[in-house]
Structure 1
Amino acid sequence: MPTTQPIGIFDSGYGGLTVMKEILRKLPQYDYVYLGDNARAPYGNRSFETVYRYTLQCVEWFFEQGCPLVILACNTASAKALRTIQQNDLQRLNPDNRVLGVIRPTSEIIGKISTNKKIGILATKGTVNSASYSIEIEKFSPEVEVFQEACPIWVPLIENNEHNGPGADFFVQKHLHNILAKEPAIDVLLLACTHYPLLLDKIKTFLPDGIQVVAQGGIVAESLVDYLQRHPEIEQRCSQHGTRTFYTTDDVKDFDNQANIFFGEPLESKHLDIR
């Protein structure tokens, strides 16, 4: 039996580390287990069925580690797998556990940030095609218009550590131009991929004044604080020893080298085979 009951944080690769970093700032006392499914990444261009199957396998693994709560810190997994897992699988796996995503907490507040009520979503193809943000924002802010732009090259740029170089300028400018061409009055741009905060400074460089760029990490962290306060039956099951354990389904040396870019400090991971 597991000796701790950590909070699980899942991503298809590295991006969820930007969310975990913000969660640790708010809630450092809990135990955490991070899993990056790097061997099967990226998820962004995969089918709904494949993303669901991969994500479910990882959620089952988290539950086996004793996690009472799992955060899908991946927009694609949140868009393509979360609802099905919550509605169809949780009762079978463990009805007392919970699986949360990053789309709903972001959608709850993003409409309040916009003055013009015109929001741009920058995301992977999978998240854009799911229309998850349009659907969720409509629930909380029906007066807001949502415009989306898929940026498929941004993740490879970041994961190859090319995001700070001049080679990334063209692709950042291209997608910013595309989304503002859809609606010049956009005043809030949401980075709806957990990789994209690493491009934040470059994005701001090429934007006109008056457009606010929003990353998800802080929003998700604040939402988790609120969730644990409202759900003591879950919070009391989350162990508090301040431990952090990292797993990857790919090569640990490669993961550790890349992870520092996202997490902001060195870490050592363990290898996990998921079949």
Structure 2
Amino acid sequence: MNYPVGPIGVFDSGYGGLTIFQQLVKQLPQYDYIYLGDNARNPYGIRSYDVVYHYTLECVRHLFGMGCNLVILACNTASAKALRTIQQRDLPELNGSRRILGVIRPTTEIIGSYSQSGHVGLFATQGTVNSESYLIEIKKFFPEVKIYQEACPMWVPLVENNEHNTIGAEYFIRQHTDRLLSRSPDIDTILLACTHYPLLAHQIAKFLPAHVQLISQGEIVARSLASYLNKHPEMKARCTQRGIRKYFTTESTEDFDTKAQIFLEDHHVRAEHLQL
């Protein structure tokens, strides 16, 4: 059967998914991509499971409508609160030949291998922490690893308002870093389980002991996608390869273009508005 071809869709509730998007483009530049940020309804982290599910499903439907056969939920909250339900309940009715992937599974199936001590810290939004998705998934692959979570509600606003490199930001970064490290002296690996947090990595590193490594998701997710496409040549054949990138936002395109420059090396982002 001949299926239609199209770009790879990348969805996030806002801007943070651009750190995932950037690594996807860096490692797999030949593919076409559509990035959709639901900035008008951001943040998702403070919303209920039902609301996140409905918002995410709506955006996935739009990406399918734009021709995407493969959609990456580049959002930890959406991956935690909506991915499984959409995969199991909605995808067969929407189009069983299409696929939706998240950022939690590829991260959790490898993060334990980074740690020598078996003690892993995790920085995330309150919504991701409350979902316990990382605790559940990591235990499936590394049942012996102990996980220590720390919610950092101020970090996303700092990044999105371009205040993350200021002295004021250091107070909140140090506060949460010290709090996480105080839970176990054996933590030797910390996962940045929010797509905004890689922009804070150099600030966080100032307050970490030399032996503690900081892991971002972008490269992990990109490697996982490359592996997935190689293992599924039928899906790989359905992803167009012309190196075209398009951006859509549910909010102001001017704001998106400006803030996208915080997250991307590409300073020529020109987003289009999407009315949901």
TM range (shorter): over 0.9
Q: Hey, what does 2:105 align to over in structure 1?
A: 104
**CA distance in structure 2 between the aligned counterparts of 1:129 and 1:234, rounded to whole angstroms:** 34
Query: Corresponding residue for 1:33?
Result: 34
Shift of residue 4, structure 1, vs aligned partner: 5.7
Counterparts of 1:247-266 in structure 2, within 5 Å, are 247-266=248-267
Q: Distance in 2 between matches of 1:17 and 1:82?
A: 19
State the one-letter code of the partner of 1:273.
Q
Q: Structure 1 residue 217: deviation in Å?
A: 0.3
**Scaled by the length of structure 2, what TM-score is found?**
0.97
Deviations 1:5-51 (A, max 9, x none): 00000000011111111111111111100000000001111111110
Q: Distance in 2 between matches of 1:231 and 1:184?
A: 42
> In structure 2, what is the Cα distance between the partners aligned to 1:53 and 1:20?
23
Amino acid of the structure 2 residue aligned with 1:94: N
3-state secondary structure, aligned to 2:205: helix
Cα separation, 2, equivalents of 1:108 and 1:84: 20
Between the aligned partners of 1:46 and 1:178, the Cα distance in structure 2 is: 25
* Cross-structure match for 2:13: 12
Partner Cα separation in structure 1 for residue 52 and residue 185 of structure 2: 34
Could you list the structure 1 runs, at least 4 aligned residues long, displaced by more than 6 angstroms after superposition: none
Taking the aligned partners of 2:113 and 2:86, their CA distance within structure 1 comes to 29
What SS class does the counterpart of residue 185 from structure 1 fall into? coil
| Count of residue correspondences | 272
Inter-partner Cα distance in structure 2 for 1:264 and 1:4: 28
Distance 1:52 1:179 in 2: 30
Please tell me the root mean square deviation across aligned C-alpha atoms, in Å: 0.8
Query: What does residue 80 of structure 2 align with?
Result: 79
Choose which of 251, 268, 271 in structure 2 pairs with 1:269.
271
Q: What stretches of structure 2 of length at least 5 have no aligned partner?
A: none
Deviations along 1:104-153, one digit per CA (max 9) or x if unpaired, are: 00001100000000001100001000000011100111110011000010
Structure 2 partner of 1:127: 128
Q: Which residue of 2 aligns with 1:197?
A: 198
Tell me the distance in 2 between the aligned counterparts of 1:68 and 1:184.
45
**Alignment-mate amino acid for residue 164 of structure 2:** H
Amino acid at match of 1:146: I
- TM-score after normalising by structure 1: 0.98
SS state of the match for residue 9, structure 1? strand
